[in-house]
Amino acid sequence: MSQVLFYIHSQPDTNADLPAHFVQACQLAAYYYQQNKKVFIYTENQQDAFLVDEYLWQFDGDSFVPHNLVGEGPRYGSPVEISWLAPQHPRAVLINLNQSIPKFNLNFQQIIDFVPAQEQLKINARMRYSAYKKLGHTLSTQDVEAASQESTNQTEDK
């Protein structure tokens, strides 16, 4: 079964343009691209897919992430594909920005999901967590704010 990692956001969003978990999803897509892994970012709708696409275009030249919306770009897609529809090609990593578990979740080795700070989105994430568990996936969580605080402390200690 797949490894599912939930990133927990306990602080409310501070960026009005893009939710914190969308920003983190793009950063993770860049990380996995650098690891030579193909990524599929699954969004709730077309508008969210366009937001993610636009944000990835804003990365500077040194950290550019080749990406496209499903159906655009090369025949087998770019290293990072974004869509609100099912993927057309196999991928190693699913980054789920949808409020439900995709029916195609079993096709991925690794799944990244998020627990945003907003209460309704937390409830939806708990339901996804439970559903992943029932499907037999291996689950883990990481607190985003605690992890960033640790890295800040480590940097200050050096």
pLDDT digits (tens, 9 = 90+) for 61-87: 667 788 888 777 667 778 999 999 999
Residue 135, token pair as written in the block: 């499907």
Task: For residues 94 and 87, give the distance between their C-alpha atoms in angstroms, rounded to a whole number.
Answer: 10
The pLDDT assigned to 156 comes to: 46
Provide the whole-model pTM: 0.88
H runs (alpha helix) in the chain = 20-34, 46-57, 119-134, 144-157
